[in-house]
Amino acid sequence: MKQPKPHHPRRWGDMPTGGPKHQFREALMLKLLQTALPQGRILDAGAGDGTLTRKLAALGYSVLALDASVDCLALLARTLEAFPYRERVELKQGTLPNSGLADAAFDGIVAGEVIEHFQDDQALVQEFHRLLKPAGVCVVSVPAESKKWDLNDDWAGHCRLYNADELKQLFETSGFQAQIIHYWGWPLGYLFHRLFYLPWLRRHHHLEGEARASSVSTRIGVHPWVSQGLAQVFRLDNLFNRLPFGIGLVGCFRKK
């Protein structure tokens, strides 16, 4: 289902990303990837300011961080100056499916909260298929369920939300086999999103990045202790992943 265009679109790269939902979702993606592909060369498609890129490199993967935003990559480049695994990371500014990358260049692809931004999501997933080596792995996360559309989706510029069957069909019609798909974020992630994140967003979504980043509530929300602590609490939601109530989906797909 197509949704209305956002009234207050986010400008990517105007402040670092973070927060407990972000931390928890990336931990789920890393677990899926490590199980399916313990090592190899990874494309972080839509890497943003590189929170997932750095975690991948710390785990021993070789990573190409690709993003359309020059500002995001500039943030990542500054962070990498003091990063102990800098030699494992390559940066590239560009967009998919027109990046100019070679066929079968990667063992794995990760795309965290990326696919929902593309009008032609099928073309994007077909590009993932082209870029992967035979039996390569793609791990993704997407926001779940059109009925949960809210201000965050407008602000972030989402084109659609997915249910599990839609995500599976998207990949299987592009030459992938679904390894695992499950919801995440119920009930604690959902309550955090409704009771804390959305009220924060209503107050801050119209601000420029520096003003938004410097607010007390923002600094508390993205503080490492708060983010990592609440992300650990959110692990209780893993008991309910089989239920279709979460705020997002994660999936692992293997190229046929």
- Model pTM score: 0.90
Q: What is the pLDDT of residues 9-55, one digit of tens each?
A: 566 656 567 789 999 999 999 999 999 999 999 999 999 999 999 99
Q: Which two tokens stand for residue 5?
A: 């265009």
* CB atoms closer than 10 angstroms to residue 3: 13
The percent of the chain in helix, strand and coil, each rounded to the nearest 5, is 45, 20, 35
Give the C-alpha separation, 112 to 240, whole Å.
21
What one-character DSSP code corresponds to residue 68?
A: S
Q: Which two tokens stand for residue 42?
A: 């990874």
Q: Which CATH class is domain 20-255?
A: alpha beta
Specify the pLDDT at position 79.
94
Q: What is the pLDDT of residues 183-201, one digit of tens each?
A: 999 999 999 999 999 998 8
Edge to edge, the sheet with strand 248-255 lists 89-93, 62-67, 41-45, 106-112, 132-143, 248-255, 176-184
CB–CB of 20/231 below 8 Å?
yes
